[in-house]
Structure 1
């Protein structure tokens, strides 16, 4: 069952509301109920005063998550939403942040499910408290079973298969897919998707993404050990930029491609040091997640009908089309 939308505050004066309610009872001609009326009145007044928590697994200072947050803040400003953004890469910590939001009695929660099993209990507590929860970015295969209302993001398997096809077009033969967070379902799905469609060899390299020095060293070592690797595929813009340095350090002829982009990565695509990037539009994910909770509260809307995700990617950005997104990337919205 879907969590019913909570009633919004009515903008009618108490006495007027009482008179109208009495008239409805006498005439038996009013339908739709006070909840529907109050939602309409609140929307017409231009705001809800609702509180929303956006809870992600993003690392502090990561440019990607700043874009998610920026999109969420834009939607919150438009909808008169009191938004709180918190994050913790540790799944137990992220679950506890969600429990904090439940204790704070927020009106809606948007959450990432990078490690769905760790979040099941916290999501259940939010639902029990009557708080609607939507998903974004990670967990496209788990959001429905977890009981979330809606999901906004990229189908990572589809994105991976698109990269595999692109590598075939580029005549690559051996891809190294770098996973910077072991157990992250989105990253695993991407590399599995690459392997599914890429005609050459694919191998995964697991690194500790919180230590960029160690990550760069691991990629360099892999390239030195196997000279047949001609493509390095990373799962984030900063890892792609680091991989460019690893290729040079190893004296390798490998090319670099990546999932996700930011302004620095756009410049790397422009100058040819990175072949292409897959854009999942993180700004849009944050925006839609917050806006969907507002729409649900004020109008009972459920994007995708609660049975289908709303896809924000993949879109491949290469040197041929990077100019179309460069301006938006520079201002931090792509």
Structure 2
């Protein structure tokens, strides 16, 4: 695992024990679920209700892992979890406001579009509802009023990926941005470009797989100097594989994030590596941190972000990690 910006690093092991459970992409309608976990602690046995709000595009396997982590934490802590999502920033803000209006005890939310969510987050903090950020918004969470943050430093992650492919000889990578306005995705591509100046960004519609394939195929057919494709989510990597084959391109593929198919493609040598931000841990830690804050006043991270990545997954460690992807925890 590669970490930098030492002032930001807090070891996950010192934060919380994940117990018996082992340890952002294109996809396809919003959901609003209330999860009642069964097990050692019945849902609600703690007396706390936590709203968990994301910018998930339904169908993206990345969010299955985030949600699974949040659900497991709710089960372990006896928290009632209310999960909702919408990829539209304005609608995500409405979901946060709905949580405030329903008087939940805490809110965990992604902050991928900080300006659009600022008003709703302020409404929560004005109501004395603690908010924690996760997954996106590492540079903005404090100014929005969130108490804690769990996720990857996307600039560092992009730099790490860029340095690795630069060492391998990359000259003209194509960085595929699949969600307009996402500060996290733009930070990843900027990090790659800082290490490989010839990096070019391309915007695609991550909610439409066929459109992603055709856009990338056209670009690869037109520009044979592209030697690497950097996708920023696992489903987009699957689209890129199809585009590479259709265009007859020899460009190599690297991606951010994991699912079972991507892990198998790494094992098969079709993808060079993945930069994993460990989404299951993000969901788990966000819920558990709110439980500890509500129960005991704990501040996890001591005022600094808790980093869950970047972590490289490649041919050297894929055999160990592949089984966890099948259980939806990695």
TM over 0.5: yes
- Tell me how far apart the structure 1 counterparts of residues 323 and 65 of structure 2 sit (CA, whole Å): 14
Find out whether 1:210 has 2:207 as its counterpart. yes
The 2-side partners of 1:144 and 1:293 are apart by 16
Among 303, 306, 310, the residue aligned to 2:306: 310
Does residue 270 of structure 2 align to residue 289 of structure 1?
no
Provide the residue aligned with 2:328 in structure 1: 332
Query: For residues 244-267 of structure 1, what are the alpha-carbon distances to aligned partners after superposition, in whole Å with 9 as ceiling and x for unaligned?
Result: 110110111111100111111100
Give per-residue Cα distances to partners, 1:308-329, cap 9 Å, x unaligned.
Answer: 1000000011111111211111
* Residue 189 in structure 1 maps to residue 191 in structure 2: no
Unaligned runs of 5+ in 2: 1-40
Q: Which has the higher helix share?
A: 1
Aligned twin of 1:225: 222
2:139 is aligned with 1:141: yes
Tell me how many residue pairs correspond in the alignment.
288
Distance in 2 (CA, whole Å) between partners of 1:296 and 1:284 is: 18
Q: Render the CA deviation track for 1:185-233: whole Å, top value 9, x for unaligned.
A: 00000000000112x5100000111111111111111111110001000
Residue of structure 1 aligned with 2:315, choices 307, 319, 329: 319
CA shift, 1:182, in A, is 1.2
CA distance in 1, matches of 2:231, 2:103: 39
> 1:286-334: CA deviations, max 9, x gaps?
000000000001111011122x100000001111111121111110000
Q: Give the secondary-structure state (helix, strand or coil) at the position aligned to 1:151.
A: strand
Spell out the pairing of 1:30-179 with structure 2 (5 A cutoff): 47-179=45-177
Q: How big is each residue's C-alpha offset from its partner over 1:49-102, in whole Å with a ceiling of 9 and x where there is no partner?
A: 200000000111211001000000000001000001100000000000001101
Paired position in structure 1 for 2:239: 242
Give the 3-state SS of the residue equivalent to 2:112 in structure 1. Answer: coil
Answer yes or no: is 1:201 the counterpart of 2:202. Answer: no
Structure 1 moving runs of 4+ over 3 Å = none
Aligned-pair CA distance for 1:47: 4.6
Per the alignment, residue 266 of structure 2 pairs with 269
- Distance in structure 1 (CA, Å) of the matches to 2:179 and 2:238: 17
User: RMSD value over aligned CA atoms?
Assistant: 1.2
TM-score by length of 2: 0.86
Tell me how far apart the structure 2 counterparts of residues 168 and 203 of structure 1 sit (CA, whole Å). Answer: 14
Q: Distance in 1 between matches of 2:203 and 2:274?
A: 20
Unaligned runs of 5+ in 1: 1-42
Larger radius of gyration: 1
Paired with 1:122 and 1:47, the residues of 2 have a C-alpha distance of 28
Q: Distance in 2 between matches of 1:259 and 1:61?
A: 17
Q: For the residues of structure 2 that align with 1:108 and 1:310, how far apart are their CA atoms?
A: 18
Cα distance in 2, alignment partners of residues 104 and 136 from structure 1: 21
Asked which structure has the greater RCO (Cα within 8 Å, sep 6+), the reply is: 2
CA distance in 1 between counterparts of 2:165 and 2:289 reads: 36
- Are 1:278 and 2:269 an aligned pair? no
Using the alignment, how far apart are the partners of 1:94 and 1:312 within structure 2?
24
Q: How many Å separate the matches in 2 of 1:83 and 1:176?
A: 39
